[in-house]
Amino acid sequence: MKQYLPALLKALPTTLYLLFISVFFALILGFFLAWAEVGRIRPLKGIASVFISFMRGTPMLVQILLIFILIPMIAYQNGVDTNNWNPSLYAIVAFSLNESAFFAEIFRSAYLSLDRGQMEAAESLGMNKWQLFRRVIFPQAAASALPNTTNMILELMKNTSIEP
Summary mean pLDDT of the chain: 92
- Cα angle vertex 40, ends 58, 54, to 5°? 5
Does the pLDDT value for residue 163 go beyond 70?
no
Q: Which of the 8 DSSP states describes residue 81?
A: -
How far is residue 90's CA from residue 50's CA, in Å, rounded to a whole number?
A: 22
- pTM across the whole model: 0.88
Asked whether 43 and 120 are in contact (CB, 8 A), the reply is no
Q: For residue 84, what pLDDT is reported?
A: 87
> Class for domain 5-162, per CATH?
mainly alpha
Measured distance CA(118)–CA(103) in Å, rounded: 24
What pLDDT does residue 162 have? Answer: 67
Q: How far apart are CA 29 and CA 124, in angstroms?
A: 31
Phi, psi angle pair for 113, to nearest 5°: -80, -10
Q: What residue spans define the domains of the chain?
A: 5-162
